[in-house]
């Protein structure tokens, strides 16, 4: 597809410049195939994550309203979370669904793996669609109860227009669900 040869740049040097509980920030000294050298920074996340679009019924999806520290606001989105060690993405999706909306799913369909800002961030998230829900609540790690909101699919345009539904991964998942929903 590309007209240009895709030769990955050589990593000349790599050093950690900062660490937190969730991320490691690295500086990379790179040499490209044309001889150019540049310094890049990237965040290395430790674990991958999942996001689930749950169908309450054939025409209704479930959203959660949750505090988002990055924007210091309450945002609408879909259940999501990290994959625990030894857990598959499918298992994590069902667990997060139980923790955040109080339902498990008999049918989980993987939609796509996505990355956020791949120039700077390494972790991936697997997006799922969940159907045939059954009630089951697991304790979660949220600091306050999450509001669960039923949203009719025939009002997706209204959801996309809302100021509190802006998280790119949730929007991507919603658009994939609309494309794949039968």
Q: What pLDDT score was predicted for residue 123? A: 79
Domains with residue ranges and CATH for the chain: 10-45 (no CATH), 49-180 (3.90.79.10)
> Using an 8 Å Cβ cutoff, are 137 and 47 in contact?
no
Measured between alpha carbons, how far is 128 from 94 in angstroms, rounded to an integer? 10
Measured between alpha carbons, how far is 121 from 118 in angstroms, rounded to an integer? 5
DSSP class of residue 66 equals E
pLDDT tens digit sequence for 119-152: 777 778 999 999 999 999 999 888 888 999 999 9
Between 122 and 63, whose confidence is greater?
Answer: 63
Q: pTM higher than 0.75 for the full model?
A: yes
Residues contacting 72, CB < 8 A, separation 6+: none
Q: Is the pLDDT of residue 94 over 80?
A: yes
CA 149 to chain CA centroid, Å, is 19
Share of the chain above pLDDT 90, in %: 69
Which candidate, 52, 171, 156, places its Cα nearest to that of 107?
52
> Using an 8 Å Cβ cutoff, are 13 and 29 in contact?
yes
Please name the helix (run of DSSP H) or strand (run of DSSP E) that holds residue 132, with its range, or none.
strand 124-135
Measured between alpha carbons, how far is 134 from 32 in angstroms, rounded to an integer? 52
Q: In the predicted model, what is the mean pLDDT of residues 91-111? A: 97
Share of the chain above pLDDT 70, in %: 96
Classify strands 124-135 and 147-152 as parallel, antiparallel or unpaired. Answer: unpaired
Q: How many residues does the chain have?
A: 182
């Amino acid at each position: 597809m590309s007209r240009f040869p895709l030769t990955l740049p050589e990593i000349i040097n790599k050093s950690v410049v900062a660490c937190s509980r969730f991320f490691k920030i690295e500086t990379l000294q790179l040499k490209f195939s044309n001889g150019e050298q540049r310094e890049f920074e990237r965040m290395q996340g430790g674990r991958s994550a999942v996001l689930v679009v749950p169908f309450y019924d054939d025409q209704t999806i479930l959203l959660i309203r949750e505090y988002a520290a990055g924007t210091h606001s309450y945002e609408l989105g879909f259940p999501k979370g990290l994959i625990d060690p030894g857990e598959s993405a499918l298992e994590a999706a069902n667990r997060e669904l139980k923790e955040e909306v109080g339902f498990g799913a008999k049918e989980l369909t993987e939609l796509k793996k996505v990355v956020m800002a791949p120039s700077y961030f390494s972790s991936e998230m697997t997006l799922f669609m969940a159907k045939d829900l059954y009630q089951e609540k697991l304790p979660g790690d949220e600091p306050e109860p999450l509001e669960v909101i039923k949203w009719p699919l025939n009002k997706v345009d209204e959801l996309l227009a809302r100021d509190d539904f802006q998280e790119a991964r949730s929007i991507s998942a919603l658009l994939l669900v609309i494309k794949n929903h039968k």
